[in-house]
Amino acid sequence: MTTLASFLDCNRYLFDCVCPACEQDWPPQDHLPSKVKGLPKAAYLGKEDAVKKGLSKLATLLQGRKKNDPNGDDPDEALRFHRNLCYLSGSLLRRPHALLITAEDDLHEALRKKALS
Ligand SMILES: [Zn+2]
């Protein structure tokens, strides 16, 4: 398997990269977990009760993901939605996880869209 570090080609600049992906030899994004429920305990941050409540909130939030395109017609609403998704997923899931990457990408896109509006 190609690791995330070699996929990103972190070492092409001829220095020892100390990013978590390189240091911990993370797999590439398409090999990361993408589901949020039913992962091993170590995949979550926080206490079990809080994680359970958080995952329920996260599942509800993820249902609204399609209609909250970061490039949608309402930049304020998209920014609010993606900020909440980023915050909630980041407080529940331990890296590496595919949702943490896509949620950050979407938040960046929503910020870009808002800045241009
Ligand atoms: Zn790196």
Which one-letter DSSP state was computed for residue 81?
H
Ordered by start, the domain boundaries in the chain are: 1-31, 33-116
| Residue ranges in the chain whose pLDDT is less than 70 | 1-12
Distance from the alpha carbon of residue 18 to the mean position of ligand 1, in angstroms: 6
Distance from the alpha carbon of residue 111 to the mean position of ligand 1, in angstroms: 25
Distance from the alpha carbon of residue 33 to the mean position of ligand 1, in angstroms: 20
- Asked if 109 and 71 touch (Cβ cutoff 8 Å), the reply is yes
Alpha helices (runs of H) in the chain, residue ranges in sequence order: 4-8, 20-23, 48-63, 75-92, 98-116
Distance from the alpha carbon of residue 28 to the mean position of ligand 1, in angstroms: 12
Q: What's the pLDDT tens digit per position in 5-23? A: 666 666 667 778 888 888 8
How many other C-beta atoms can be found within 10 angstroms of the C-beta atom of residue 15?
8
pTM, 2 dp? 0.83
